[in-house]
Amino acid sequence: MTLAAERPRSALLVIDAQNGVLAAAHERDAVLANVASLVGRARRESVPVVWVQHSSGELPLGSDAWQIVPELDPAPDEVIVRKEYGDSFEATELEQVLADANAGHLIVTGAQTDACVRSTLHGGFTRGYDVTLVSDAHTTDDLSTWGAPSPAEVIAHTNLYWSFQAAPGRTGKVVSTVEMTF
């Protein structure tokens, strides 16, 4: 298990900011503007930005749906981690990327709140990372037709419960884009 205290740096994770994932996302444009703001700030402060890109039957590798949205543009020196599972750590090189960056604190943004974002929050936390969720820089689709709460409720609930996360040697917290310090 990673011990956050042994790795003093932070890393910004941008999870599944892809055309097919964000096509119908709740408050898409506002969330993308916040993610773009965080990416810019991270770059200026030399904080590693790690892009996570999902592939599946709905997001075939190389397809238009699979591409990162045009509003965001990974820099040539930024790592893109490809995944096939909700948790960005599962069967990927993410842990090695973070170790190479000496990062013990994850700043989480992206989509879908109730799937890949939530899985990655827990995945990082149980692996020993401090994990900050940026409250207004994650989003999800409306799945209320299938019995889920509204997207706004899913986002609010995730922000609420993540603000109470704690475990020996690590913390979880929630901050807004403007409150985020690297």
Kindly report the three-state secondary structure assignment for every residue of 98-122.
HHHCCEEEEEEEEECHHHHHHHHHH
In a domain, residue 180? The reply is: no
Nearest-CA neighbor of 110 among 180, 28, 174? 28
Structural domain range at position 118: 4-175
Total tally of structural domains belonging to the chain: 1
**pLDDT, tens digit, for every residue of 11-65?**
999 999 999 999 999 999 999 999 999 999 999 999 999 999 999 999 999 999 9
Q: What is this structure's pTM?
A: 0.96
**pLDDT, tens digit, for every residue of 136-174?**
999 999 999 999 999 999 999 999 999 999 999 899 999
| CATH number, position 165 | 3.40.50.850
